[in-house]
Amino acid sequence: MDKTDFTELVRNINANKILLPDFQRDFVWKSEEAQKSIVASVLAKMPIGSILLLESSSNDYACIKIGTNIGVDSTQIKGKISFLLDGQQRLTVLTNVFSNVIQNNVSKVTELASASLKRRFFLEIPHWQTLWNNRADSTQDLFGVTHLVFPMVNPDSENPAFLSGEIKDYIEVIPFNASDNKPYNPRTLLGTELDNFCIGYPDTYLIPLFLCIATGSTTRVSTMQLRYTEIIDGIAATIVKEIEAYVAGMSENEQVAFMESFLDEPDEIEYIRQTLFATEEFNKILVNRSKVWALRIKEYIDSCLKHMVLNEVVVEEQDRKRAIDIYENMNKGGVSLSTFDLIMAKVAVVNNERYIARIINYIKSNYPNKYLLNVVPSEIETLLDNAIKNDNYNATIFTGCISDNETALVSKYIDVFLDVISLTCHNENYDTNSYNVSMIKKDKILSIAAEDLNRNTEKTVKAIDRALFFLQTRCGVRSINDINYSLMLVLIATIFTNDAWYASSRVHRLLEAWYWASIFSGEFDKDQNARFNKNLQNMIRTINGTFDTTWINSMKDQVLNTNNFSDKRLILMERVATEERAPKTLLRYYLCQFLLSRPYSDMFDPSEKVSVFYKKDALEMHHIVPLGSCTTIGESTKALRKDYYNICNSPVNFVLITSRSNNAISATPLDVYVKKIDNTAKTSLHLFNYDQSSDIKSVLSSRFDFIQGDIKNRITSLI
């Protein structure tokens, strides 16, 4: 990390050595107030944050010129360049304010990143007469115009007495239109017309900040430097004329009195008192002071840019994964840069279609035989309506993977997508020995070639859609957020990148057996990455016939029997008193999903089937033994609901039912409402003999045994 020389930074931007990866992010610092604020901070020598640059090969990412929407063919740039990962907003504003680089890079204003960049920034220097008349208020004279003595002897190293809020009022912003021919318009040739405009501006003089950093051809640089110098020198000379005109209207005694009050050096005052030509000598002093003042203000503005308090963090190519981590730590609470952002920029090198829009278009596409009904359990197939059978149904959309306005992907989907495409690109032959945990790490994902990403994008999107449909039709999953262990979705999707495996009902049965055995044995509760890699290798070996199903059976033996995760004593809250342990909340959702994976009758209406395809959001989590029947005197059900150690909140005390049934039950005691439940529903939900017992522990213990046996039997039959 280094404090940047902003002038050098701008020249690198001009030379296409610093470019913006094409993340398709908008320029958002559009308000004049926001832009003025950061300019004021620079001119007050205040810290303005950091920028993050990634040094990389020029052809790694598609990119655009900063401040524009113009793409750059980075393959034509020799050597490494710096990609701006963080700091786009401030760097765009400051480059536009203090140079002509952005304006020179566009042939028309519509190529600017935003219309808000059609602004010219000037530093106001109030007229001398105004400041002299208000000299009692020294806060108005930031640059020593009143006495033509700049307040800093060494502007390059000294900090000003004013703060950013004070100088902000002296920043003038003037917009321009495409062809208004104003002397400050970027399309107007620089000439003395700009000098006249700045020096003759009403009530104040203007220093054009866009001339501070001269770039371009030798002629253009010379012209910009000349105009900048001429304007500041012209302002200084005009201030001298203001003072001379003010003195000319005075009597001789008034002139001497004024000169003595104006001059602050004792030797200058004594010299004026003794000379016979006081006015002429005073004018010489004014001219000398004005030249020094002009030199000092140029030095000061130059020092603000040269020593800008903008930290420049540069990450080398081999540490690009670290760049993302640095970004996330620099922007806590903000919109984080992600691995996906860099992937988008990389793909754009070989395909200029906006990547995220392309993925969403793939999601919405109807592929031939998108959902193969021969792999769907027969109980579910009877519920699949015509929309699904006609390929109009979309599992990815149904499970909430894209935003309501269909312009963005949810973060969990993006994480899964990156893992699956990395596994696919790095091991297209499904060689089990080649799989390793590093394939789902940032650096491995970022190392994928642009061509491989481009080629495997649609395949990955299709595979994830297949996996989500599998989880819906076989595992009772209604939303991507219902999947606690994302790597399980990654595993299924990786298998389904293979069309032959997706078409195999045997593969579907193996995956479902593995799924139930995994979640109820706690296979992914610890060391998820390592467990994922082992399970993926085992699954492919089993599919290929080089491995039997012993590994799944060993997990089946631990279903609802894994110590400290799903054992019966923990599920029934028997370990609370001695160990203060409670089962994880996710187990209640998994148990409900298992029941939902095969349709069951509504509690009170056997003609209505409850399934994963039931009306969206119409299913509710219900306490089988109602909380109201377990409260003590003075205890509220609200407090009981939050008590994770209470047996009422055991995972086996929950079931998903229709909102209508939930309202019908309300706070009715179990022994009352259970008599009204349809017998078919009782069997499906394991609600046996509940009317014969009021002991909640025995009720839930019985249900635990039934469900555990049901899960194990399902796994056995699937294998």
Q: Per-residue confidence at 9, pLDDT binned at 50, 70, 90?
A: very high
- Percentage of residues in the chain with pLDDT exceeding 70? 88
pLDDT score of 276 more than 60: no
Query: What pLDDT is attached to residue 418?
Result: 95
CA geometry: angle 707, 708, 712, nearest 5 deg:
115
pLDDT above 80 for 133: yes
Q: What SS3 state is found at 292? A: helix
**Residue 376: pLDDT above 80?**
yes
pLDDT over 60 (residue 71): yes
CA distance 570 to 588: 13
pLDDT band at 68 (very low <50, low <70, confident <90, very high): very high
Q: How many CB atoms lie within 10 A of CB 650?
A: 28
Q: What is the pLDDT of residue 1?
A: 46
How far, in Å, CA of 548 to CA of 665, rounded? 47
In our burial notation (b when 16+ CB lie closer than 10 A, e otherwise), range 5-38 reads ebbebbbebbebebbbbbbeeebebeeeeebbbb
Euclidean distance between CA atoms 44 and 23, whole angstroms: 32
Determine the average pLDDT of the residues in 125-138. Answer: 88
Run of H or E including 272: helix 266-274
Give the position of tokens 């051809």. 217
Q: What are the CB-based long-range contacts (under 8 Å, 24+) for 625-631?
A: 625/653, 625/670, 625/696, 625/699, 625/700, 626/665, 626/667, 626/668, 626/669, 626/670, 628/667, 628/669, 629/667, 629/669, 629/670, 630/696
Give percent of the chain above pLDDT 90. 51
pLDDT digits (tens, 9 = 90+) for 491-522: 999 999 999 999 999 999 999 999 999 999 99
Q: Which residue has the higher pLDDT, 357 or 270?
A: 357
| SS3 category, 370 | coil
CB 474 within 8 A of CB 372: no
Which of the given ranges, 125-129, 253-257, 600-604, has the highest pLDDT on average?
Answer: 125-129
pLDDT at 546 over 70: yes
* Encoded tokens for 295: 């030199």
Given a cut of 90, whether residue 26 has pLDDT beyond it is: no
Phi and psi (nearest 5°) for 125? -120, 105
Read off the tokens for 17. 């050595």
Parallel, antiparallel, or unpaired: how do β-strands 63-64 and 80-86 relate? unpaired
Domain ranges of the chain: 10-117+310-337, 119-170+180-306, 338-499, 573-701
Q: Return the amino acid letter for 431.
A: D
Which pLDDT does position 170 carry in this prediction? 95
Q: What confidence score (pLDDT) does residue 658 get?
A: 84
Q: What is the pLDDT of residues 280-334, one digit of tens each?
A: 778 888 999 999 999 999 999 999 998 888 888 888 877 776 776 776 666 654 4
Rounded Cα–Cα distance for residues 54 and 82 (Å): 5
Q: With 70 as the cut, is the pLDDT of residue 455 above it?
A: yes
Rounded Cα distance, 418 and 573, in Å: 39
**SS3 state of residue 252:** helix
Report the chain's mean pLDDT, rounded to a whole number.
Answer: 86
| Tokens matching residue 508 | 């579907």
The full DSSP string for 568-590 is HHHHTTTTHHHH-----THHHHH
**What is the C-alpha separation between 461 and 531, in angstroms, rounded?**
24
Cα distances from 98 to residues 41, 210, 396, in angstroms, run 13, 4, 48
Residue 193 pLDDT exceeds 70:
yes
691-701 mean pLDDT = 72
Cα–Cα distances in Å, from 667 out to 289, 430, 648, 700?
A: 89, 54, 14, 18
Mean pLDDT to the nearest integer, 80-89: 88
pLDDT band for 25, please (50, 70, 90 cuts): low
Confidence of residue 682 (pLDDT cuts 50, 70, 90): confident
For the cut 90, the answer to whether the pLDDT of residue 435 exceeds it is yes
Q: Which residue has the higher pLDDT, 630 or 306?
A: 306
What is the C-alpha separation between 204 and 376, in angstroms, rounded? Answer: 79
Q: Yes or no: say if 471 and 375 are a contact pair by the CB < 8 Å rule.
A: no
CA distance 456 to 538: 24
Statement: residue 363 has pLDDT above 70: yes
Mean pLDDT across the stretch 41-69?
Answer: 88
Average pLDDT estimate for 630-645 = 59
> Lowest mean pLDDT: which of 6-20, 328-342, 478-492?
328-342
Quick check: 172 pLDDT over 80? yes
Are the CB atoms for 497 and 524 separated by under 8 Å?
no
Q: Which of 115-129, 189-203, 213-227, 266-280 has the lowest mean pLDDT?
A: 266-280
Q: How confident is the model at residue 633 (pLDDT cuts 50, 70, 90)?
A: very low
Please list the alpha-helical segments (H only) found in 435-584.
442-446, 450-475, 486-495, 499-502, 505-521, 528-543, 550-556, 568-571, 576-579
Over residues 419-433, the pLDDT tens digits come to: 999 999 999 999 999
Q: What is the amino acid identity at position 211?
A: L
Query: What pLDDT does 540 receive?
Result: 97
- 497/116 Cα distance (integer angstroms): 46
Question: Distance between CA 260 and CA 142 in Å, rounded?
Answer: 22
* pLDDT of 128 over the 60 cut: yes
